[in-house]
Amino acid sequence: MTIDASLYQAIALICGLFAIGGSIVYYLKIKKLPTGNERMNFIADAIREGAMAYLSRQNKTVAMFAAVIAVLFFALGMYVDPTWIGIAIAFIVGAVFSAVAGYMGMAVTTLGNVRTAEAAKKGLNAALGVSFQAGTVMGLAVVGLGLTGIVVLIYWYNYAMETGLLPSGADRITSLLQMIAGMGFGASLIAMFARVGGGIFTKGADVGADLVGKIEAGIPEDDPRNPAVIADNVGDNVGDCAGMGADLFESYVVTLIAAMILGNFVFGIYGVIFPLLIAAGAIVATVFGVNVVKVKEKGDPMAALWKGILVTAVLSGITFAVICFAVLPGDNPEVSQLGAFGASIVGLVVALAIVQITDYFTSTKKKPVQTIAEAAKTGAGTNVIAGLAVGLKSTGPFAIVIVLGIFLAFKFAGVFGVAVAAMAMLSLTGIIVAVDTFGPVSDNAGGIVEMSNMPKSVRDITDKLDAVGNTTKATTKGFAIASAGLAALALLLAFAQEVNIAAEKIGVAGLAVVGGLPVINIMEPAVLIGLLIGGVLPFVFSAYSMMAVAKAAEGIIIEVRRQFRTMKGIMKGTQKPDYARCVDIVTKASLGELLVPGLLAVGTPLVIGFALGPAAVGGFLAGALISGQFIAVFMSTSGGAWDNAKKYIERGAFGGKGSDAHKAAVVGDTVGDPLKDTSGPALNPMIKILNTISLLFVALFVKYSLHLI
């Protein structure tokens, strides 16, 4: 590396450590805040203990799966190619850092909920400040750990080369990027399990609690008499906090890796360093963005959150301009400095547009949600039909924005431009995670307020934040889906390039090149087979996660009914429900369903790669990307819209709480719960696992596949 490149690398490391340090500072600040009365602390402690117990058991379960893969990688390093030793180490780093990001998020959100409830006594801005600061801890931790992990691996790799721990290849940068791809796979694996396991937990508890509590027993949400109420609140943390944090952590990491790989093809070492600096510049912008989120007592919290996102995006754009013209060589015939900057702005605009589109389809203030709520007047059937229609319709504008983004990014800077746009979009991860995590913290705070019998004025404040949180959770899911799609596309482009590099090394024909780009012929039978298998995999994968939610909810329903039937004092308020029993039931149900989705995601690309060859894998990845992204949009949007349609009615529309319309809306919300919080979000890491493991094994596919390219 030249002196300049080493300096830029150091700057990226400093910014990554700065984000981690900021996360710790915010965490300690929140920890010092008042926690309210004894009853509030009792409830908060129960939620925290359940959440941490689940996360511990999940990590132990996933660690066994990850250990098998790590041993496989080390074995490949011993007997096939020494590079796999570095990949194994990077895989472990990615898995551990992803788990740490989830743990930090869980730790702060289970502290922030009761402190938000206590702050609500002072007013709306105080409550928003605490809940958003809790989200900021996780947002800064995610980007800080992601950037720091990659830079530390670069330093370690250079040390390993110089000391002989790893063999020095002909092209050190290419070998480095192959190793770092292992970090992306480790992060993706943990994210998928966190999304699937956490999603099954949160929706199994939520659906069970709602069906027995609201519909059968006629008691309000978050009523302490409901035995599943603690499990429901625990689920908000394990699914929406730890799950989303791990999801966007791996999107962030794999996008960085894909941009580094494609940047190496165009700019060499400066193309490798460039994405790291984009991430570093956005961290600085995020620190400014999170500090402008404030709201007046009668103001709109959503407007305050949107202001934070907008400020971060604008400041990020300014830093991108400086980085593009200061770092990238100005004499490259393929990509100009201005072109790279243009692609980065495209990424920011796509991110903002996706947030707005998702907000339109899921906000209580917009027509789609109000239409679903109105359909509930004639029953659950029409409510469900309307929600399905809204979800299907939302894929149209989503696709238009993504297509325009890809087109413009390619026009600005070719294949590298697509990766730059994806990286620019993911540069907003810090503020997006903060906005997302604010939602479940506020939701938990509302539950604590309800179960603590606090005044209605306090509940009104937490209800207002909770309603906004439902919208932010939906909008950030839209961001996560779009970012996953662009990340997967960048990885697919990198995979195609790596196929030809691997083929050239062993002297066989690679993919045909047209206009400087590798081309996959979809009319070739093997490729067509891969395309079809990739297209159907998201459906099969989602089926397993949906059925798992149904099984978990069934267990909760049976248990809650049993307690209501045999513990007569519960409904009278004279007997305490067995909360721990419900937490245990849904924990076992969620962790017991992780194996099949994991095998599908890890095993399918390997089978196709060795049986049908790398070109078929390219078709497979394209099929999974296209169907998976739009299924995820449909499921997440429908679920979010159903949820907010119920909330819209609960505020007084069409008869309000207890009305026939409300009962119908509860059914729609129940149908949407596993769609928006389990199956839909789980597709994001699944798609990226397919791409990262394919990228890791590309050389072996080329060398050992039964079907030549």
Of 54, 142, 65, 69, nearest in space to 100 by CA: 142
Does residue 484 contact residue 630 with C-beta atoms inside 8 Å? no
For 209-223, 284-298, 551-565, which range has the lowest pLDDT when averaged over its residues?
Answer: 209-223
Mean pLDDT of 353-367: 89
**Residues 6 or more apart whose Cβ sits within 8 Å of residue 21:** 144
Over 80: is that where the pLDDT of 133 sits? yes
Over 90: is that where the pLDDT of 378 sits? yes
The reported pLDDT for the residue numbered 170 is 54
- From residue 238, how far is each of 47, 107, 278, 613 by CA, in Å? 11, 11, 30, 39
For 210-214, 296-300, 569-573, which range has the lowest pLDDT when averaged over its residues?
Answer: 210-214
Q: How far apart are CA 498 and CA 654, in angstroms?
A: 58
The reported pLDDT for the residue numbered 1 is 40
User: What's the pLDDT band for 709 if we cut at 50, 70, 90?
Assistant: low
492-495: Cβ within 8 A, 24+ apart: 492/618, 492/621, 492/622, 492/625, 492/691, 493/258, 493/262, 493/415, 493/418, 493/419, 494/258, 494/261, 494/262, 494/419, 494/695, 495/614, 495/617, 495/618, 495/621, 495/691, 495/694, 495/695, 495/698
Phi, psi of 513, deg, nearest 5: -115, 125
Mean pLDDT of 461-476: 80
CA 97 from centroid of its chain's CA atoms: 15
The reported pLDDT for the residue numbered 4 is 64
List, in sequence order, every residue forming a beta bridge with 332; answer none if it has no partner.
none
List, in sequence order, every residue forming a beta bridge with 519; answer none if it has no partner.
512
Q: How far apart are CA 258 and CA 416, in angstroms?
A: 9
Residue of 266 and 232 predicted with greater confidence = 266
**Residues 6 or more apart whose Cβ sits within 8 Å of residue 467:** 364, 644, 647, 651
Mean pLDDT of 396-407: 94
118, 143, 206, 475 alpha-carbon torsion, rounded to 10°: 100
Q: How far apart are CA 274 and CA 260, in angstroms?
A: 8
**Residues 6 or more apart whose Cβ sits within 8 Å of residue 195:** 243, 246, 247, 678, 681, 682, 684, 685
Q: What are the structure tokens assigned to 155, written together?
A: 């330093």
For 47-51, 98-102, 401-405, which range has the lowest pLDDT when averaged over its residues?
Answer: 47-51
User: What's the pLDDT band for 2 if we cut at 50, 70, 90?
Assistant: very low
Provide DSSP, 514-572: ETTEEE--TTSHHHHHHHHHHHHHHHHHHHHHHHHHHHHHHHHHHHHHHHHHH-THHHH
Q: How far apart are CA 432 and CA 339, in angstroms?
A: 26
* Side chain identity, residue 383: N
Mean pLDDT of 337-358: 93
Does residue 398 contact residue 482 with C-beta atoms inside 8 Å? yes
The reported pLDDT for the residue numbered 708 is 60
* Side chain identity, residue 680: G
The reported pLDDT for the residue numbered 144 is 95
pTM: 0.87
Of 141, 160, 190, nearest in space to 87 by CA: 160
User: What's the pLDDT band for 269 if we cut at 50, 70, 90?
Assistant: confident
Does residue 482 contact residue 370 with C-beta atoms inside 8 Å? no
What residue has token string 């890796």? Answer: 257
Of 307, 288, 352, nearest in space to 128 by CA: 307
**In three state form, how does the secondary structure of 208-270 look?**
HHHHHHHHHCCCCCCCCCCCCHHHHHHHHHHHHHHHHHHHHHHHHHHHHHHHHHHHHHHHCHH
User: What's the pLDDT band for 189 if we cut at 50, 70, 90?
Assistant: confident
**Residues 6 or more apart whose Cβ sits within 8 Å of residue 401:** 350, 353, 354, 357, 482
CA torsion through residues 655, 656, 662, 665, sign:
positive
Does residue 556 contact residue 508 with C-beta atoms inside 8 Å? no
Of 386, 355, 393, nearest in space to 370 by CA: 386
- From residue 310, how far is each of 352, 474, 497 by CA, in Å? 8, 18, 35
Does residue 501 contact residue 508 with C-beta atoms inside 8 Å? no
Average pLDDT, the chain: 87
The reported pLDDT for the residue numbered 168 is 62
- From residue 255, how far is each of 194, 303, 442 by CA, in Å? 19, 29, 30
Over 50: is that where the pLDDT of 3 sits? no
Over 70: is that where the pLDDT of 11 sits? yes
Percent of the chain with pLDDT over 70: 98
